[in-house]
């Protein structure tokens, strides 16, 4: 029997694995920076305009969802494991909220 491998699929798969290992080797601060880089200017302004950090929950279904999708938090255990290891949080909703809170705190420090 001759096995016929789809080389394009396997190359893409290995690139995906290497990329995820690279992201998880970064510190959480770098993961947060990656999330910030994917936000639009309007999203950053919306976070900044919140008076209290507790008000960020209103972005759960918008900016929070964008963060969860951009970081692939529903399907990628590597980043979730990194957050769990360093901060004790592993649910995608909690991770995206943590990232929004860090962005808010950084913007309001300046």
Predicted confidence (pLDDT) per residue in 74-103, tens digit: 988 888 888 898 889 999 999 999 999 999
Nearest one of 96, 108, 110 to 52, comparing CA atoms: 108
| Residue 16 included in any domain | no
| Residue 3 included in any domain | no
pLDDT tens digit string along 53-78? 999 999 999 999 999 998 889 988 88
Say what the pLDDT of residue 105 is. 92
Q: What is the spatial distance between Cα 79 and Cα 23, in angstroms, rounded to a whole number?
A: 7
| Residue 100 included in any domain | yes
**For residue 46, what are the domain limits?**
27-109
| Residue 12 included in any domain | no
Q: What is the spatial distance between Cα 9 and Cα 97, in angstroms, rounded to a whole number?
A: 34
25: left (phi over 0), alpha (psi -120 to 50) or beta: alpha
| Residue 77 included in any domain | yes
Total of domains in the chain? 1
| Residue 7 included in any domain | no
| Residue 84 included in any domain | yes
| Residue 15 included in any domain | no
């Amino acid at each position: 029997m001759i096995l016929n491998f789809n080389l394009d699929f396997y190359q893409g798969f290995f690139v995906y694995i290497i990329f995820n290992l690279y992201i998880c080797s970064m510190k959480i601060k770098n993961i947060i920076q990656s999330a910030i880089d994917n936000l639009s200017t309007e999203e950053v302004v919306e976070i900044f305009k919140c008076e209290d950090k507790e008000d960020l929950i209103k972005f759960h279904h918008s900016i929070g969802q964008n963060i969860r999708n951009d970081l692939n938090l529903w399907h990628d255990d590597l980043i979730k494991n990194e957050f769990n290891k360093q901060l004790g949080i592993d649910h995608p909703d909690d991770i995206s909220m943590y990232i929004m809170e860090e962005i808010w705190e950084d913007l309001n420090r300046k």
